[in-house]
Amino acid sequence: MSAYRKRVKVPQSSLSLWLPPMRLLSALTWKVAEMRQVEYYNKLEEFVSVVMEIVPDLLSPKERVELCLGLRARFILELCCDQPSLTLPIVQPHLDRLFWIAESASIDSDGTVEASVRNFVDLIQTLLRSPTYREHFFQDIYPLHYGYKYDTALQFLLWDFLSRLEELLPVPSFYQAACWFEDDPSLLEDSLKMVYNSKEVQHLLLHFKNIEPLDKVPVDKLKNLYQNSMKPKGQ
């Protein structure tokens, strides 16, 4: 695990050269959740929804609803907290998105999910109407129901999603990838121009030439490492 634990500072310009675009997007998605950058949670929800529309088996319908609604709801609350002058017309598209997520889930036979969404929408409307209640909510209620535990639960769901997406899209060897290119010299030349940059290649190799290869750690072991890191000290 020493090679895994050893962090490598890679130039930002070289990351897109080293990592496949989807792997880079997944990494950025996870970093946003890990750092709790809630202002970007709407983008995370959109990414999850787009992938799940094409590959619905990555998560169970229940997990999908919990993750997508959770991310979007957390984002909406952040808007209400950070923008005292927020109005309903501004936030309405995000509230409509909640209903779209609930309807697309196809698991709400008894109306429980829709009722939960309506209750949340009523809460947001109350927060927008009443500055006094808004202050009380974010001071006393919000930390209990939408704080650390809420974010951690979203992280676990997102971890499962990204891990399964990674298994779905393994990185091919150079030979496997080469078989997908057409035997057209002009196309090959255009592709080389697009991906090859001598300075970025040099920067990347300079950072890795004296570093051991990263261990191939099983996903379940990585998840255990993450879970252990989330436990309070002394446990």
Give the whole-angstrom CA distance, residue 66 versus residue 163: 17
* pLDDT on residue 1: 39
Q: Identity (one letter) of the amino acid at 10?
A: V
Name which of 58, 33, 4, 36 is nearest 222 in CA terms: 4
* pLDDT on residue 95: 96
* pLDDT on residue 73: 97
Tallying the residues shown for the chain, one arrives at 235
Burial 146-175 (b: 16+ CB within 10 A, else e): beeebbeebbbbbbbbbbbbeeeeeeeeee
**Alpha-carbon dihedral angle through residues 66, 68, 74, 77, given to the nearest 10 degrees:** -110
Task: Please give the chain's pLDDT, 235 residues, in tens.
Answer: 344 445 556 667 677 777 888 888 999 999 999 999 999 999 999 999 999 999 999 999 999 999 999 999 999 999 999 888 889 999 999 999 999 998 887 776 678 888 999 999 999 999 999 999 999 999 999 999 998 899 999 999 999 999 999 999 888 888 887 887 777 667 677 767 666 666 766 766 666 665 555 555 555 655 665 666 555 555 5
Give the whole-angstrom CA distance, residue 73 versus residue 70: 5
* pLDDT on residue 159: 95
In this structure, are residues 161 and 67 in contact, taking their beta carbons and an 8 Å threshold? Answer: yes
What tokens appear for 217 in the block?
């750690």
What tokens appear for 23 in the block?
């792997």
In this structure, are residues 107 and 65 in contact, taking their beta carbons and an 8 Å threshold? Answer: yes
Q: CA 107, 70, 232: angle at the middle one, nearest 5?
A: 125
Q: Which residues, other chains included, contact 177 with Cβ-Cβ below 8 Å and sequence gap of 6+? A: none
Does the CA dihedral 184-185-190-194 come out positive or negative?
A: positive
Give the whole-angstrom CA distance, residue 68 versus residue 49: 7
